[in-house]
């Protein structure tokens, strides 16, 4: 399973737009991995987590189109994770059809944010989206690729593919579990995701419980009892994570309850291994960085190395 980091910053970006603090100044002068868009990842080329406000910029910066995306997962309703306009640009006039249909998965409050665009609701037909209001703890099967339905928006004279059938990618299947996050208010139903790929070229040699899996745990504070319980249920069924990506917004600052510092991140990685929920040698990652808590990338790498943790950075693509 290929994971590409499209953005790795907390809400205000890193360097932050209105900020001239020492860290932001260093990030601007060093560039490279110090320049972080708001957090978002692409799994293979067809599953996107968090259509945030930097998605257009990230697509341009990394030379990636998202035309094969057929599943969009939204962790929670905060501005840095969901921007209603990013999905609106799928409409004809902005993208040339055909596009494959994409399933959008988020809790009710997250999906409601998609209708925030100047008070105009997002039209699922013109954007070719299928909404799925998820409940915390729910498991969803996501199928991508394979045989696709024609895009009814495609007009023969204005289309790359006269049949209106989107180009076909390899058939993949994911199991997605909506884990309750310790983040935002109780009515806001913030989530993070456990994702396992059970079909597709990336999962070919890995059958059954050997299927590649990641835990994408941002934004969240220390895992709740409910989250641990759910992770244990999955563990009992054979889920083991190859890569665990954890919220590190508070960096070298004090511990938090709705985000975590680096010590809390390390504790969670250790605890997941101790509870036998990760694969032996699992990749331990920190993610979602703020200039308020986190030193520049090079110092961050050095700080995390003794803990066996690697920080995410924009453009990083790895085989999870
Ligand atoms: Zn965030
Ligand atoms: Zn948030």
Give pTM, 2 decimals. Answer: 0.97
What's the 80 CA to ligand 1 centre distance in angstroms?
Answer: 5
Q: What is the pLDDT of residues 100-122, one digit of tens each?
A: 999 999 999 999 999 888 888 89
What's the 183 CA to ligand 2 centre distance in angstroms?
Answer: 7
User: Which pLDDT score is estimated for 223?
Assistant: 98
What's the 78 CA to ligand 2 centre distance in angstroms?
Answer: 5
Residues in a beta bridge with 247: 287
What's the 13 CA to ligand 1 centre distance in angstroms?
Answer: 10
pLDDT at 157 over 80: no
What's the 259 CA to ligand 1 centre distance in angstroms?
Answer: 9
What's the 78 CA to ligand 1 centre distance in angstroms?
Answer: 7
User: Which pLDDT score is estimated for 119?
Assistant: 80
Contacts of 62 (CB under 8 A, 6+ apart): 4, 6, 314, 315
Question: Which residues are placed with Cβ below 5 angstroms of ligand 2, an ion?
Answer: 78, 219
User: For residues 31 and 271, what is the distance between their CA atoms, to the nearest angstrom?
Assistant: 34
Cα dihedral across residues 286, 288, 293, 295: positive or negative = positive
- At 147, the pLDDT band (50, 70, 90 cuts) reads confident
- At 168, the pLDDT band (50, 70, 90 cuts) reads confident
Please name which ligand lies nearest the alpha carbon of 290: 1
Mean pLDDT calculated for residue range 191-203: 97
Please name which ligand lies nearest the alpha carbon of 80: 1
* CATH T-level assignment (fold) for domain 2-149+165-319: Metallo-beta-lactamase; Chain A (3.60.15)
- At 318, the pLDDT band (50, 70, 90 cuts) reads very high
Mean pLDDT calculated for residue range 19-36: 98
The secondary structure of residue 188, as a DSSP letter, is G
What's the 70 CA to ligand 2 centre distance in angstroms?
Answer: 24
What's the 216 CA to ligand 2 centre distance in angstroms?
Answer: 14
User: Which pLDDT score is estimated for 210?
Assistant: 94
What's the 76 CA to ligand 2 centre distance in angstroms?
Answer: 7
């Amino acid at each position: 399973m290929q994971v590409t980091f499209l953005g790795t910053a907390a809400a205000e970006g890193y360097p932050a737009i209105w900020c001239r603090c020492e860290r932001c100044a260093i990030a601007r002068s060093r560039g490279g991995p110090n320049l972080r868009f708001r957090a978002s990842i692409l799994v293979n080329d067809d599953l996107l987590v968090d259509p945030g406000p930097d998605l257009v910029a990230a697509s341009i910066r990394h030379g990636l189109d998202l035309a094969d995306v057929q599943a969009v997962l939204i962790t929670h309703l905060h501005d840095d994770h969901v921007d209603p306009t990013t999905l609106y640009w799928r409409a004809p006039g902005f993208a040339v059809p055909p596009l494959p249909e994409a399933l959008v998965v988020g809790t009710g409050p997250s999906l409601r944010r998609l209708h925030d665009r100047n008070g105009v609701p997002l039209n699922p037909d013109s954007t070719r989206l299928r909404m799925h209001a998820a409940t915390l703890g729910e498991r969803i099967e996501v199928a991508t690729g394979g045989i696709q339905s024609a895009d009814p928006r495609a007009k023969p004279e204005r289309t790359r593919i006269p049949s209106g059938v989107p180009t076909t990618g390899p058939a993949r299947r994911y199991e997605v579990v909506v884990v309750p996050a310790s983040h935002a208010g109780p009515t806001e139903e913030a989530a993070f995701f456990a994702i396992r790929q059970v079909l597709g070229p990336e999962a070919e040699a890995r059958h059954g419980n050997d299927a590649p899996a990641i835990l994408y745990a941002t934004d969240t504070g220390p895992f709740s009892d409910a989250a641990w319980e759910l992770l244990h249920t999955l563990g009992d069924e054979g889920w083991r994570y190859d890569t665990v990506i954890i919220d590190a917004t508070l960096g070298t600052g004090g511990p938090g309850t709705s985000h975590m510092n680096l010590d809390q991140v390390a504790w969670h990685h250790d605890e997941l291994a101790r509870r036998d929920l990760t694969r032996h040698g699992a990749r331990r990652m920190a993610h979602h960085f703020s200039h308020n808590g986190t030193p520049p990338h090079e110092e961050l790498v050095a700080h995390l190395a003794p803990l066996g943790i690697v920080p995410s950075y924009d453009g990083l693509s790895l085989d999870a």
